[in-house]
Amino acid sequence: MNIKQRLAAIEKIDLLQGPTPLTKLNNLSEYLGRDIYIKRDDMTPLAMGGNKLRKLEYLIADVVQKKAKVVVTAGAIQSNHVRQTAAIASMYGLECVALLENPLQSSNPLFLNNGNKQLTDLFNTRCYLCDELTDPYAQMQALVKSLNLQDAYIVPIGGSNALGSLGYVNCALEIAEQKPKDIEFAAVIVASGSAGTHAGLAMGLQSVLPQTPVIGVTVSRTVAQQQPKIEALQQELGELLNMAVFPKVNLWDQYFLPCYGKPNNKGQQAIELLAQKEGILLDPVYTAKAMSGLIDHILKESIDGNQPLLFIHTGGAPAIFAYSEINVATIK
C-alpha cells in the first residue's frame, strides 16, 4: 500500500475543494537571482485562508465522528489557527471555546482587538485569557472542567498532532503533482512553529520527492527546542502511516528574535518586498520571518545547488492589521 492509499483510508472532510496554486515568483526571482516558487496555502477557501484548513480536514472529521458539541483550542491572541478553527466550528454548528495568551504582554487595543482576534470574535467564539500557555493541553482540560463543558473535543495548538499533520502529508503529494516536470526543487522552505506543517511536509516529500529537503524556519524556538517536537510528530505519523524511515530535520533558527509574535526588521523587509514585487501579503509572525530566512540564505549563497526553491505560504495576512509596528518603505 503506497502513501496515497494509506491516506485515503483515514477519514477526512473535504474543505479545500481542490489544490492551492503553485506558481513561480517571477519578479522576486529576477530580483534575487534565483528561481523561487510559492505554494499558496494562504488561498485556502475559508476565513481568509491559511494552512490550518488542511489539518482541520482531519480533525473536524474526528470531531463529527465523535459527536462532539464543543471545540476547545488555544493559541495567541492573534492566532491564525484559532481563527480558522472558530470558522469551521461555525460551519458545523459547534460551539468554539478558545484559551488565548498574550505573548507580547501588549496592552495595545489594536493588537488585542483587531486582525485575527476580530475575526475570531465574529465567529462567536468564547475567548478566555491566560497569562501564558505553558502546558496547553492540560490548561485546556482544566478549562473544560471549570466551564463544565459537555461533549468537548480538544484541538491542539496549531492543529499539530499526528492526525492534523496528515494534512501536510497530503500537501506534499499535491506539490509532487503540481511542480513543473522539468525541475527539481533544491529545498522547500516553511515556517516551523507548532511543527505539524513541517513534520507532515517532510514525511510526505520523503515518499514522493525524496531528494527534496524541507527546511523549517523557526518562529518561536531554537533548533534544540524545535527539533524534538518535529521528530516526535514524525514518529507519530510513521505509526499512523506505517512508515519506518524518517527524514532529517532541517531548521534555521536565526530569524525569530526578539521573540514569538514580535515583528523584526528582516521580517518587515520581507513583507514589503513581497508586497511591492509580487502583490502578495505575508504576516509578521510566521511567513515574513520564514521568507526573510529564505532571502538571507539566497543572498549568502548558502543553499546548495542552483535549482529552484519552493516557499510554502501558510497564510496569516489578517494579523497585519493588528500590528502598528509594520512600517512601509519603498524597495529599490
Instruction: Find out whether 117 and 322 touch, Cβ atoms under 8 Å.
Output: yes
Instruction: Find out whether 101 and 140 touch, Cβ atoms under 8 Å.
Output: no
| Nearest one of 280, 328, 329, 201 to 37, comparing CA atoms | 280
Residues 6+ apart with CB under 8 A from 285: 78, 219, 260, 261, 263, 316, 319
Cell of 144: 473544560
Q: How many CB atoms lie within 10 A of CB 158?
A: 25
| Nearest one of 284, 282, 218 to 250, comparing CA atoms | 218
Q: How far apart are CA 1 and CA 215, in angstroms?
A: 28
DSSP 8-class letter at 31 = H
φ, ψ of residue 277 in degrees (nearest 5): -95, -30
214 DSSP β-pair partners: 188
What is the radius of gyration, based on Cα positions, of the chain? 19
Give the strand pairing for 22-24 and 36-40: antiparallel
Q: How many CB atoms lie within 10 A of CB 103?
A: 19
Residues serving a catalytic function are: 79
| Nearest one of 206, 219, 213 to 188, comparing CA atoms | 213
| Nearest one of 204, 192, 193 to 168, comparing CA atoms | 204
Q: How many CB atoms lie within 10 A of CB 299?
A: 11
- Answer whether the bond into residue 213 is a cis peptide, omega within 30°: no
